[in-house]
Amino acid sequence: RKEVEQDPGPFNVPEGATVAFNCTYSNSASQSFFWYRQDCRKEPKLLMSVYSSGNEDGRFTAQLNRASQYISLLIRDSKLSDSATYLCVSYTGNQFYFGTGTSLTVIP
Amino acid sequence: DVKVTQSSRYLVKRTGEKVFLECVQDMDHENMFWYRQDPGLGLRLIYFSYDVKMKEKGDIPEGYSVSREKKERFSLILESASTNQTSMYLCASSRAGVGSPLHFGNGTRLTVT
């Protein structure tokens, strides 16, 4: 079983829509979680860390549910520039574990 | 801002060549990593290092070696390049400790012909 699993999508949403991605992790000992954004043929870039109490950064909200072992990313008021692949990452015992990514396309 | 610099953006090498990929970070991070990324397979860890002269195998170390002689520099070596090593190679660094995220270089797209 993979450490981190994500729905690959693709998610195609209209501009202005709200979209949510979930990601499950298998190791209950996972210590930290992150969301990265990756544009086509570019490197992943940190979007936000995920804190136990949930956290928000502008239009982006991240949540962690330790009981059910999943994290989520909510994007409100989607922009064309949000089109990218979103990677879920967990950190366990000095190792980072990546999901394969969820593809988002925001349509005008 | 953290800067992780990879020496080449694109490389084309022939089968059997020895290939060096260089990575330098400027934030005094303890940890450095090499990944490869292939369509449908996501990021896979090749090697990582927690300190100078220290290295640990990742999930797919076969055909690769690494060197970390200085804290800021982590090199990936393909001993004898093969076509199945054609990939995007990503270097990353992080501070030691829980909660510190990875910072990636802009990648090297290697083609082995």
Q: How far apart (Å, rounded) are the C-alpha atoms in residues A24 and A93?
A: 18
Give me the mean pLDDT over the A71-80 stretch. Answer: 97
Given an 8 Å threshold on Cβ–Cβ distance, is A43 in contact with B104?
Answer: yes
Residue A1 has pLDDT above 80, yes or no: no
Q: What is the pLDDT of residue B40?
A: 83
Candidates B40, B62, B61, B58; CA nearest to B48 is B58
B73 touches chain A (CB under 8 A): no
pLDDT along chain B (113 residues), means of 10: 89 97 96 94 94 94 97 97 98 91 96 98
Residue A30: pLDDT band (50, 70, 90) is very high
Judged by CB atoms closer than 8 Å, whether chains meet at B107 and A101 is answered as no
Find where tokens 């990575």 sit: B23
